[in-house]
Amino acid sequence: MTLQTTVTRKYILCSALFQPYEGVQVKILDLQEQPGETSDIIVDYLQQVLTDNNLTKKVVAFCGDNTNVNFGGVARRGTNNVLAKLQSSLKKPLIGIGCGAHIIHNAIKSAADGLPLDYESIIVKIYSFFYIYTVRVEALKEFCAEAEIEHHQMLGYSKTRWLALMPALERVLKMYQPLKDYFLSIEKCPKLLKDFFEDPTSELWLYFLHAQSASFHHAVLKVEGQTVSAIEAAKEINHLKDNLAQKQINQFLPFTVRNLIEKLKDNGTNIDEDFVKNTEFYKTSREYLEQWTCFLLKK
């Protein structure tokens, strides 16, 4: 049985059990508000629910958000965390399982932070610029009509919405030309967006990140299933790591990115193709995944 918690003041305690003929079954054991979020409060609550349901001998793993209070960091060290204290309380070792979707999202985020583009700020700034401003939206629609590109509502992005990155990037790319024309035409264009759209390589890096996000997006969808076991999640993350390793070896560049590089060169833009190929993106994201999932792969 695996325990799962959502670490907020209102705690949802679920159990994931394996039935030979039914597979993984997820059931809510308890829902309760607690006076705080310390490891002591959480462990006391877990111990109480487990004891009340006669489950203390059946627990093999603890699953929760990847916070220090739950696991004491990526190295699973220290004693002042839920995993360590629960193991001490139950008097047996447990497997500590972080949120797979969170790990995958943070892997692409850590890699994207090394790119010469602050994609999060760009997406959020564009979204907030048009959000609830009807006059601005109508003006953008005119630029879309001139470019013969269908207008779409901008999508927001949040660091905790793990499946929001790829659609948000895709929306900006679909409307890139009218967005660029619009922002460079207005008198008081936000400096962040002015610099972004004046840089001829901005579109290239957005396409690069969008192409990479597809693999991560697919992996998150796979591990977020309600009946997905820790073994299945680890297998999916392993597949993603292998994919990234192969891309790193081959210095893989998406077809659209290669075409944009040639287009930029033809237009006289100084773009270093080797720099794009040798980006640390694949290495950084793969190493992050390895760091946060090594506990699942120990033999």
Of 18-27, 41-50, 204-213, 247-256, the poorest mean pLDDT is in 18-27
Q: 9-23, 51-65, 264-278 — which one is most confidently predicted on average? A: 51-65
Share of the chain above pLDDT 90, in %: 62
Q: What is the pLDDT of residue 241?
A: 96
| Type of residue at 291 | Q
From residue 32, alpha-carbon distances to 56, 57, 90 in Å are 19, 23, 21
89: which residues sit within 8 A by CB, 6+ positions away? 43, 47
Q: Is the pLDDT of residue 282 over 90?
A: yes
Instruction: Output the pTM of the full model.
Output: 0.84
* DSSP β-ladder status, 2-5 and 61-63: parallel
The SS3 call for residue 25 is strand
Average pLDDT score over the chain? 89
Average pLDDT over residues 112-132: 93
pLDDT at 7 over 50: no
Distance, CA of 234 to CA of 95 (rounded, Å):
13
Paired residues of 25 in beta bridges: 17
How would you label 67-100 residue by residue, b for 16+ Cβ within 10 Å and e otherwise?
Answer: bebbbbebeeeeeebbbbbbbeebeeebebbbbb
Q: What percent of the chain has pLDDT over 70?
A: 95
The distance of Cα 227 from the centroid of its chain, to the nearest Å, equals 20
Domains of the chain: 2-98 (3.30.420.40), 102-296 (no CATH)
More confident residue, 243 or 8: 243
pLDDT-wise least confident of 7-21, 129-143, 274-288:
7-21
For the residues 158-172, what does the mean pLDDT come to?
86
pLDDT tier for residue 299 given thresholds of 50, 70 and 90: very low
> Running DSSP on this structure, what letter comes out for residue 295?
G
Position 12 scores a pLDDT of 81
Can you spell out the DSSP letters for 124-187? Answer: HHHHHHHTT-HHHHHHHHHHHHHHT----------TT-TTSHHHHHHHHHHTHHHHHHHHTTST
